[in-house]
Amino acid sequence: MTKNSLLKGLVGAALLFGATISAHAADTLAAVKAAGTLKVGTETAFAPFDFIDAGKHVGLNVDLFDEIGKELGVKIEWVTLPWDGVFPALEAGKFDVVAGPATITKKRMERYRFTPPLAEATIAILKKAGDKTISKPEDIAGKKIGVGKATAQLDQLKEFSETLPTKVDIREYPAFTESYADLAAGRIAGVANSLPNIAFVAKQREGTFEVVLPPFGKKSYFGFIGLKDADHAPLMDAIDAAMLKIKADGRMATLQKKWFGASFDTPDAVKDPAF
């Protein structure tokens, strides 16, 4: 291996990186309809939105996208990746939309387009059942708290930590399920995640976990995510319209009740997120 050929190789790789050729079909909606399938990217470690139950991919997202698929007249094909790989893959065109869902934040809105919200995303703490040292959110000061890597919940937890006398010892996990496992094993004192998620986990594992109420920080919402460019606009418009229709005729509330135990109001669009 000479220096020269190494250099050439590196230059070649750099050129490939730079080449963000937009060779995709101009109108993604037309392409999706022609193919008859909408490809949806997600991770499967975010109960109750997406998770594995005895080896099967289930959750609110699966049910909701089934309805969206019916509205659009297409089948849904799932691509599941680790969460920190989902956004790069969306930009690489590996799928048309991300289920996630993701907390609607200012930073993300600059780069991506969100669907109408499908749930509240305000953050709360999950603790081990019977842990008397944590009775309100402020009690996590100085404690080990788990949270997902590259998530909006991490940002919200950091912001909350700044307001406490002793900072929170934040532990970042590749997926939330791993943080729940560590909480169950007693390696951390709590997990910070959005209220619908931890309420579901606490309900699934009654006697193991408890939710610390109230949620803290600013009110935020979950939405699905797509690309902002003109190619994707018709597709995202169609998904938005389908979701609003599903919300208007009560199917959304039914699904929320099925997966969260309660339905709740969400705005039709989030224009100015709190984060």
Partner 1 sequence: MSIELFGLLVQASIYTVTISFVSIFIGFAIAILISGMLLTGRSLFVRPAQFFISFFRGVPLLVQLLLIYNLLPAVGLNVPSIVAAIIGLSLCTAAYQAENLRGGFASVPLGLVESAEMVGLTPRQIFRRIKVPIALRLTFPALVNEAILILKASSLVSVVGIVELTRMAQDLAGSTFLPLQIFASAGLIYLVINWVVALAGGLIESRLPGVAR
- Residues near partner 1 (CB under 8 A) are 1-2, 5-6, 8-9, 16-17, 19-21, 23, 44-45, 47, 51-55, 79-82, 85, 88-89, 91-94, 175, 177-178, 180-181, 184-185, 205, 208
Burial 236-248 (b: 16+ CB within 10 A, else e): bebbbebbeebbe
- As given in the structure block, the two tokens for residue 164 are 């406490």
Provide, rounded to whole angstroms, the least separation between the CB of residue 105 and partner 1: 23
Cβ nearer to partner 1, comparing 51 with 259: 51
Return the bridge partners of 53, or none.
56
Cβ nearer to partner 1, comparing 115 with 177: 177
Cβ nearer to partner 1, comparing 5 with 110: 5
Provide, rounded to whole angstroms, the least separation between the CB of residue 77 and partner 1: 10
Provide, rounded to whole angstroms, the least separation between the CB of residue 241 and partner 1: 27
First to last CA, the chain: 50
Provide, rounded to whole angstroms, the least separation between the CB of residue 43 and partner 1: 10
Secondary structure letter of residue 206 according to DSSP: B
Cβ nearer to partner 1, comparing 55 with 267: 55
Preceding peptide of 165 cis, ω within 30°: no
Q: Where are the alpha helices (DSSP H) in the chain?
A: 3-18, 28-35, 60-72, 83-91, 106-111, 152-162, 176-184, 195-204, 233-248, 251-260
Amino acid letter, 179: S
- As given in the structure block, the two tokens for residue 270 are 């989030």
Cβ nearer to partner 1, comparing 104 with 175: 175
Q: Nearest to residue 142, comparing CAs of 165, 168, 162, 160?
A: 168
Cβ nearer to partner 1, comparing 80 with 254: 80
Provide, rounded to whole angstroms, the least separation between the CB of residue 9 and partner 1: 5
Spatial separation of the C-alpha atoms in residues 126 and 198, rounded to whole Å = 6
Provide, rounded to whole angstroms, the least separation between the CB of residue 181 and partner 1: 6
